[in-house]
Amino acid sequence: MIDSMTFVLAQVAPAAAPANPLITFLPLIGLFVVFYFLMIRPQMKRQKEQRAMLGALAKGDEIVTTGGIAGRIEEVGDTFLTVEIATGIRVKLQKGSVQQVLPKGALKSA
């Protein structure tokens, strides 16, 4: 008799209230915030610095390319640079291949 009473009471018990949608998506929102501050924001900052560096390139700057070639800028165009890598040897490179601008006189000391 007791078993049948608990079965009847279990059937009569009200259903659980639906979960709040905000609480359901809260972990996903938190994960996005963490990704933004740890990955997306620093990458955007690096890209902004790279664009500023490429925009400031001028004749006479000493640079290093992504391929490791070091030289002095002889001519600056919209998308290309002419770089002297040795006395009388000039190569034409894309601006995007510049990785680093060296301090003045760094090539003579090397």
Could you read off the pLDDT of 51-76 as tens digits, one per residue?
999 999 999 999 999 999 999 999 99
Q: What is the pLDDT of residue 20?
A: 82
Residue 89 confidence class, pLDDT cut points 50, 70, 90: very high
70 with 93, same domain: the answer is yes
Residue 48 within any structural domain of the chain: yes
pTM: 0.67
Is 99 buried (19+), middle (13-18) or exposed (0-12) by CB count in 10 A?
middle
Residue 6 within any structural domain of the chain: no
50 with 92, same domain: the answer is no
Residue with more model confidence, 20 or 58: 58
48 with 66, same domain: the answer is no
Using the predicted structure, report yes or no on whether residue 82 has a pLDDT greater than 60: yes
Using the predicted structure, report yes or no on whether residue 2 has a pLDDT greater than 90: no
34 with 50, same domain: the answer is yes
Q: Could you list the residue range(s) of the whole structural domain that residue 97 is in?
A: 58-110
Round to whole Å and give the CA distance between 98 and 83.
11
